[in-house]
Amino acid sequence: MRWVGKPVDAVTVGDVRSFLGLCVDRPYRYRNHLAGLKVFFRDSLGKPWLVESFRFPRKIVKVRNSLPDKVMLKRFFGGADKFKVMLFS
């Protein structure tokens, strides 16, 4: 593999860890690289022990700090009635 400078059979857990260390700043990039490496080593090479200790990062949930105002709530619930009529008629 190019990023390690070794043949595929000689790659170690430390090599995978050092490669994934380059992607730590962006969780989605780390997740995508890890998913690809897991499939490659587990399914293609038959070496699942190289990547089974790595875990996917948790998804970050953005929480709104404010509640919707009355106008937004009226618009939402008014649309919900129309949706029920369309769905159940």
Residue type, 73: L
Separation CA 49–CA 24 (nearest Å): 21
Local confidence pLDDT in tens for the 89 residues of the chain: 677 788 888 888 888 888 888 887 888 888 999 999 999 989 988 988 888 888 888 877 788 778 888 888 888 877 766 666 665 65
- In this prediction, residue 39 carries a pLDDT of 92
Name the nearest CA neighbour of 18 among 32, 33, 28, 7.
33
The CA–CA distances, whole Å, from 2 to 8, 19, 45, 77 equal 9, 11, 17, 56
User: Are the C-beta atoms of 51 and 16 separated by less than 8 Å?
Assistant: yes
Supply the pTM of this predicted model.
Answer: 0.60
